[in-house]
Structure 1
């Protein structure tokens, strides 16, 4: 029977592997959302990656429903829609009102409006599977190209803290399995974007090997004088407007300073040094709890020193800052 042909067996094998590996990739943000749940706050994490991933799963699910013998594409993208929807729902539950409304607008525009537009456009084509296939392929290439900003940051900072190896590895493995699935299924729209994904994944792992042992960091090293050498009055570290950067980042406030390397370093000092911290000027509109949260985030190494925003990609603490009591 045709179903037991070698070619069909290979399609089935790589499809199953692709489902398993893609499921692992879908679970990668779980630690992020565990932290959101524990903190009862989104802490500056961005919802856009999950919204985009949901949209990608939606259009691939639509494509797979029109294509014969694409059941394994249906299973993984159905699962993707479910998991990403749960992430977005949890994000909306804990996000501040302003961020929640912005996220809802994005979901309505992209996931509802964008998907309905694709449904409408493809309805008028007799070969809508071809049109939809190219839309899916183009969108997938754009998604695979997103880590270019992270790779640039790794090269600039000579640090891989923004690019966890396990995630790059599984994304590359996923691209390989779906590439072969597309090849054996004779589906160029599945195979083509995964060629791009495979190349970007290999480059990411090469960068990791090159920079994993580098000690260089973009955060400046700050030395706090010993308390004994300071005047008789109780010494303080006045970080002033630098603390407000982390505090406002914690509350998803975009109207804060972008010169974050100094801010992050100062916050790390404030959080790890035994000397008390003076609130200073520029903190009148920020509560003590917000300052504490901001300092905690900065010291934990979650401030993205390139963009100034809290980063879900950082996996290591901020560099050790010399501090004497």
Structure 2
């Protein structure tokens, strides 16, 4: 953003990650509301701060981009606002319990979280094509990697991953059977709930895992193409054609 402000132009920087993150933050802010998912103050405060920051970034693109790019950003933002308004209306009018609202809005939030982490793919495509990381912000890639990695580790600490990779131990089944017998629930239901719990764990970790992977790929690309990148402050090297023309002029 500092480079865009200094040059008074967005040059070849892509607004895709920032525009996609706006929708992602709006969805998570709505998810953290007390009437959707109670006791989620940290969710809506963190994503609310992120939403403000992303709107500032998008505003910079709107100010310093040409009309075709500006029109594209405005159209996408309008679609996001309309979609978000529809989600809020349907959730509040059709879903009357916080459990149902949490389920529906949570699924949408996970989907758009994946979209946010996948949005830098357009930037990575340009990096590979031009063999230059000039327009791929390093600190954004580093932040995506760190954010996805930290949230993945945090969630793993709250869940026994052995349940996903190892067969359940007999003692574990015995504990579940005793517990569910006290609740007058069959053992088949207990196994089903274990599977459901594992499924929701994977669905929660998929976006964060993809975010860490996406950030890691960007950092690897940055390391590969850093030396071949021509930065603004580097003088341009004369090409072979220019050198040849100068030689011909001297001979003449």
TM-score normalized by structure 1?
A: 0.50
Asked which structure has the greater RCO (Cα within 8 Å, sep 6+), the reply is: 2
Partner of residue 229, structure 1: 249
Q: How many equivalent residue pairs?
A: 197
- Higher helix proportion: 2
The correspondence of residues 116-265 of structure 1 with structure 2, limited to 5 A, is: 116-123=85-92, 124-125=94-95, 126=97, 127-183=100-156, 188=201, 190-213=204-227, 221-224=239-242, 225-226=245-246, 229=249
Segments of 4+ in structure 1 off by > 6 A?
none
| Partner SS for 2:89 | helix
Segments of 5+ residues of structure 2 without an aligned counterpart are 160-199, 231-237
| Partner SS for 2:88 | helix
C-alpha displacement of 1:192: 2.8
C-alpha displacement of 1:104: 2.9
Distance 2:10 2:225 in 1: 30
Alignment deviations for residues 142-165 of structure 1 (CA, whole Å, 9 cap, x no partner) = 221223344444445544445454
CA 1:107 to 1:152, structure 2 compared with 1: closer, same or farther past 3 Å?
Answer: closer
| Partner SS for 1:226 | helix
C-alpha displacement of 1:212: 3.9
Segments of 5+ residues of structure 1 without an aligned counterpart are 1-29, 233-325
Partner of residue 104, structure 1: 74
The correspondence of residues 280-319 of structure 1 with structure 2, limited to 5 A, is: none
Larger radius of gyration: 2
CA 1:33 to 1:67, structure 2 compared with 1: closer, same or farther past 3 Å?
Answer: farther
CA 1:82 to 1:113, structure 2 compared with 1: closer, same or farther past 3 Å?
Answer: same
Distance 1:50 1:199 in 2: 19
Q: Does 1:56 align with 2:24?
A: yes
Alignment deviations for residues 213-271 of structure 1 (CA, whole Å, 9 cap, x no partner) = 4589xxx9443121870799xxxxxxxxxxxxxxxxxxxxxxxxxxxxxxxxxxxxxxx
TM-score normalized by structure 2?
A: 0.62
Partner of residue 191, structure 2: none
Distance 2:20 2:208 in 1: 17
Q: CA RMSD in A?
A: 3.6
